[in-house]
Amino acid sequence: MDSAFDTEGAGITVRRALELPGLRSGLPEVLACGDRLDRTVRWVHAGEVPNIASLLKGGELLLTTGYGLGTRPAEQRAFVRTLADRGIAALVVELGPRFARLPAALVETARTAGLPLVQLHREVPFVTVTEEIHTEIVNGHYALQQRAEEVYRRCTGALLAGGGVPQVLGVLAGFAGNPVFLETPGGRLLYAAGAGPEGADPLQVWEGLRGQHRDADAPPPSGSVLVDVPGGGPGAGAVRARLVLLPVRAPLAPVHRMAVERAAGILAVVLMQARQEEELAARGRGDFLSDLAEGRIAADDAPAQARVLGFKPGDGPLLPVVMRLGDAPAADGTARAGAVGGGWAVLARAVAEELASVGVPVLLGVRPVEGRVPLLLGLRAESERPVVADRVAAALRAGAERAGMRRPGAQPPVVVVGVAGGWAAASAGLRHAAETATAAQGLPDRPWYDARRLDIDLLLWRLRDHPDLADFVDRAIGPLRDHDHRAKPPLLPTLETYLAHAGRKAETARELHLNRQTLYNRLARIGELLGTDLDDPQTVLALSLALRARRHVT
């Protein structure tokens, strides 16, 4: 980049302005702060009034014949100090009728205040000077735009040639001579390009510099360029990622920011397209698994179709698993209540990355309409089921959290593991696991549920709209429910805990933090309200079913 242009913003330097024909014809003489001629001139102003500083914003080169400077040294000192405080680039005074040579008070104050002061020995047309400098500034802007546009064309060419995000970042890093990084809004590194000082790995640079600023709201390292890549979720101003250009090999100029801003627009399109393709692929796998579960794909035809989708499980049993999200993104990719952004593509990618460490073949799909993530895993033997289920459930939950589906207070995801077997068993297992995951909503949170142990809950869920089920719940525990609405302490939690511990009073008292006598009194009151004997096996069975059915009929 031409050194006549500053590296902080658009404009030219005082030194360059003095070299232009207009000012050069006035035989300029620098009287103060000749070491500060690299200051930026953003605009030119001419004026002859004492309060000229109030009309300036900073960065101007002020032209004057001196009539507004005042006649007394105190006025001249105040005039210069006010201009210096305003932050103008330089003061240029034309000698003539007002001053044959600039007063010493003026010169000394300019030196003390750090304001470049120039006197012109010959008269010059100020309008010519203004036009020349403004033209130079505009040309500088245009030159920057042209250089940034060239980078934009090269980035576009890289994409048209089949490249992606790494190729775009490579163009940027080569143009700026510095490493460039693409990070998530939260500061997690996605891609890196370019080299650090002395050829250092860019990841080392990242950890050493940008890695210090893990807070998404923290400012980037001094002198760097950080630009948002739009399109991270619903609503205006959403951020998909951030581009960070670090000045570790050479300083950055305004043209580099322009280039990064143009590249951010390209990357927004690339990432959106990748997201759409990723979501379509995940939905396609989800459709296959749904068709398999519903019997629309025969077990004999399923292996060939699964191979087309990249799933090659081997000869071992297949393990069906379904995760149902408590607060899922909507089918159109936006977020339902409780989800904080990203959509199904983000979820699918996050879950797939987490599942990569499980070490077994996986076919992962999404079903946005139902809010489910179905998958099949290839086991080597049935004995692997518990261990693999633990690892898969942890990966599914971690992926959901990374995708923003675990908002505090929202229902946690439910993971249900079916029965391992061949393709025919996988069909029935996926259907069973999907229904069970819905029926398990509202149960105490667990890493995962065995579908076989929730058959009663599934049966009750299927009967949820039958009036006989609601009547049964009312007959069995209605008096207790009415009591809890109007009196304390509530007794339903005591009954639930008592039945969960199979009538063992010592364990029940410990979990409820009650002494034995208090528990006996509560159990007696429960038996009195219900008109039944809590030691009767049939009564215990009926109460247990009613408590489990209560979730589905209220």
**337: which residues sit within 8 A by CB, 6+ positions away?**
327
Q: Do domains 278-454 and 467-553 have the same CATH topology?
A: no
The domain spans of the chain are: 12-135, 163-252, 278-454, 467-553
pLDDT of residue 237: 55
Q: Give me the CATH code for the 12-135 domain, please.
A: 3.40.1390.20
Position 361 scores a pLDDT of 92
Instruction: Note the pTM of the prediction, 2 decimals.
Output: 0.52
* Residues 167 and 243: beta-carbon distance below 8 Å: no
Identify the residue whose tokens are 């940008």.
210
The CATH homologous superfamily of the domain defined by 467-553: PucR C-terminal helix-turn-helix domain (1.10.10.2840)
Residues 6+ apart with CB under 8 A from 311: 361, 362, 363, 376, 378
- pLDDT, tens digit only, all 554 positions of the chain: 333 334 344 568 899 889 999 889 999 999 999 999 988 888 898 988 888 888 888 889 999 998 888 889 999 999 999 999 999 999 999 998 888 899 999 999 999 999 999 999 999 999 989 988 888 887 777 777 788 788 888 888 888 887 778 888 888 888 888 888 887 777 767 777 887 666 666 666 666 655 554 454 555 666 778 888 887 554 445 677 888 888 877 777 778 888 888 888 888 888 777 666 677 778 888 889 999 999 999 999 899 888 878 898 988 999 999 999 875 444 444 333 333 334 677 788 888 888 888 889 999 998 888 889 999 999 999 999 999 999 999 998 888 888 776 655 667 899 999 999 999 999 999 999 999 998 888 888 899 999 999 999 889 888 888 899 889 989 999 899 899 888 889 999 999 899 888 889 999 999 999 999 999 999 999 989 988 888 888 988 999 898 888 888 86
CB 543 within 8 A of CB 479: no
Q: How far is CA 468 from the centre of its chain?
A: 49
Q: What is the CATH number of domain 278-454?
A: 3.30.70
pLDDT of residue 198: 64
Measured CA distances, 28 to 23, 97, 120, 124, 230 (Å): 7, 17, 5, 11, 49
Q: Which two tokens stand for residue 326?
A: 């408590």
